[in-house]
Amino acid sequence: MANDKLRIGVVLSGCGVYDGAEIHEAVCTLIAIDRAGAEAVCYAPNVAQAHVIDHTTGQETGETRNVLVESARIARGKITDLAQFQAGDVDALIFPGGFGAAKNLSSFAFQGPDCTVNPDVEKAVRAMVQAGKPIGALCIAPAILAKLLGTEGVELTIGSDAGTAQALETLGAKHRTTTHCEVVVDKAHKVVTAPCYMLDASVAQIADGAANAVDALIGLVRSA
């Protein structure tokens, strides 16, 4: 790219762990990108959320909210419709977790290995793969990469949850068990994953995990 400053796309899935992007993971990712001297470029699909959850009760509210509009809360309004994504605009792409990754970006929360992936998400991932650029995913978001890249034997982690790991392996992915702050780097597929809140973690551990994932992602960019 013309500018020496790396640009890392961050795909958000709403705002709030139970129905959108996990806010701690998203913000820690943005901080890690900035501290690494790179620029975060936020995206989200312009679609309705699967549902809206009252985060004080865990119950559905019956409301309708838009993923792009809600994600803009985290991005402070500086966000682009994922439908406009071009691999040439970024050096790497990363997906923070939260149930939004498994409800809005895909249907993994509802259908497991039989899930579908949002068309704009799939298009972005395929474009990055074709361009030979790295992709990162935190928490449950690696399920998206397992669905799209599992048949290619992509290696990834969601931590240590046996049921979820088995679901990803059903898709053809190779799962590695990890603990706090660890990352799995699949150099062959240029994929970086970290468990984050798939484990019972503190905010500090989330910050360290996100930073390690971003650092590994940047390492893949620079080693290309």
Active site residues: 139
Burial class (CB in 10 A: 0-12, 13-18, 19+), 39: middle
Using alpha carbons, select from 2, 1, 33, 25 the residue that is nearest to residue 12. 25
User: From residue 18, how far is each of 14, 44, 55, 83, 141 by CA, in Å?
Assistant: 10, 17, 7, 24, 14
**What are the tokens at 211?**
């930073």
**Residue type (1 letter), 119:** P
3-state helix, strand, coil in the chain (%, to 5): 45, 20, 35
| Partners of 61 in the β-ladder | none
For residue 65, how many other CB atoms are within 10 A of its CB? 18
- Nearest 5°: the CA angle 57, 59, 103 is 120
**What are the tokens at 120?**
């704009």
Residue 173 CA to residue 169 CA, distance in Å, equals: 5
Residue 101 CA to residue 11 CA, distance in Å, equals: 9
The secondary structure element, H or E, covering residue 74 is: helix 67-74
